[in-house]
Amino acid sequence: MPTLLFAGTSSGYVEAGKNPTCIVYSAGGKNILLDCGDGATRSLVQHNFDPNDLDAVVVTHMHPDHSSGLMFLIQTLHLLKRKKPLLLFIPSETLRFCEYCLHHYYMFKTTLGFDLRVMAIPSGESFSVGEVGIHARPNRHMTIHSEAMEDHRNLLGESFSLDIRYSKTRTVYTSDILDYADLVAMAFGGGDVLITEIAHIELDNVISAFEKHPFGKVIITHVPPGKKIDPARLGSFIEAVDGMKVEF
């Protein structure tokens, strides 16, 4: 039975009492961290999850609220004397940057103490962690930077939503998207759990997508300050809070 731990649910804004995005998906004896925002390691410990129990980390895109906790997590695993390998899936455009950061944070392969296997997320394809299958679907979130990226040709604007399968279950994690079209593309066909951000789309968009593509549970996260969600309009939807656990 898969479980979810929402260790961090805030948007890109700093909020007292909320941590940036980090979600643990657990199934088949594997624990997979979905995104690793600032303070992710502390968030995990705060909610009684041992970082050493992670088997893999998937960083969907490189905005800091989804990625900036990564280096501290790796340092923590070194200090905890981790021995088992850690799989790290990141956008392909980030491979050299990750190597650069590890080097300049003085975390070397020869002294880290465990096998850190850094791999590019296979865009539009599937990969697996044990018996958990993950399909990485590109979304258009990073097109918000299209004009500025003209001067930074080394950047590909990679951003992914994840379709996660275990046994007969389907979990969709939109991560950050651009608009309703990105949401519908991921929700198509329905499933067991839909985890969707709501910083860049509206609740009406989620309701519309759900009516066309039903899910057993719909979980709203990444709600920015000032965007108040009317509980009466949520219906059966769940607004995620830090520390929330979901089984399905």
**Tens digits of residue pLDDT in 149-193:** 999 989 999 999 999 999 999 999 999 999 999 999 999 999 999
**Interaxial angle between packed helices 180-187 and 203-212, expressed in degrees from 0 to 180 and rounded to the nearest 10:** 30
- Which domains are assigned to the chain? 3-247 (3.60.15.10)
Distance between CA atoms of residues 154 and 176, nearest Å: 21
List, for residues 30-73, the tens digit of each pLDDT value. 999 999 999 999 999 999 999 999 999 999 999 999 999 999 99
Distance between CA atoms of residues 65 and 11, nearest Å: 7
Contacting residues for 83 by C-beta, under 8 A, at least 6 apart: 113, 114
Q: Which long-range contacts (CB under 8 A, 24 or more apart) does 165-169 make?
A: 165/132, 165/133, 165/134, 165/135, 166/2, 166/27, 166/28, 166/131, 166/132, 166/133, 167/27, 167/28, 167/131, 169/2, 169/27, 169/193, 169/248
In the structure, what pLDDT confidence band is assigned to residue 228 with cuts at 50, 70 and 90? confident
